Amino acid sequence: MSQAFAGRRVLIVEDESLVAMLLETIMEDMGCTPVGPASTVDEGLRIVTDGEPLDAALLDVNVAGRQVFPVAQALKDRGVPFVFSTGYGEGGLPDEWRGHPTLQKPFTESAVRDALVAAMGLADV
């Protein structure tokens, strides 16, 4: 567990329950507090717009058949860093969202940690 992540609240937006459970476990192993997981875009938006304290977010690009970009925009508007996760990698993102840290599925715990470090601007942990 890294002190850099201790107590940080990370929103998980993921519609596949096994992937969501894996991400929750990874977050807990890193010392983070998982928020959610939200299994729909609307649920993710509600959490973000309700003003829930968030330090970062992990966003599946395709959530139950909808693209997650409204949640990404709400997070961006709040200044909350986020990481996309997708089976298509960064190349599968629309131009306006390229350049954000992106996890290629399937991912490893170290890939999740590295992407969050990049998104949150933390010193390498």
Say if 83 falls within a structural domain: yes
Say if 125 falls within a structural domain: no
Distance CA(28)–CA(66), nearest Å, equals 27
The number of distinct structural domains making up the chain is: 1
User: At a CB cut-off of 8 Å and minimum separation 6, what does 15 contact?
Assistant: 39, 40, 60, 62, 63, 64
pLDDT of residue 88: 83
Say what the pTM is: 0.94
CATH number of the domain residue 106 falls in = 3.40.50.2300
Question: Which three-class secondary structure state does DSSP give residue 68?
Answer: coil
Question: Which three-class secondary structure state does DSSP give residue 55?
Answer: coil
pLDDT of residue 1: 52
Domain residues for the domain of 88 are 3-120
Most distant CA pair in the chain, distance? 36
| Predicted confidence pLDDT, tens digits, the chain (125 residues) | 568 899 999 999 999 999 999 999 999 999 999 999 999 999 999 999 998 899 999 999 999 999 999 999 999 999 999 999 998 877 889 999 998 899 998 899 999 999 999 999 987 55
Say if 18 falls within a structural domain: yes
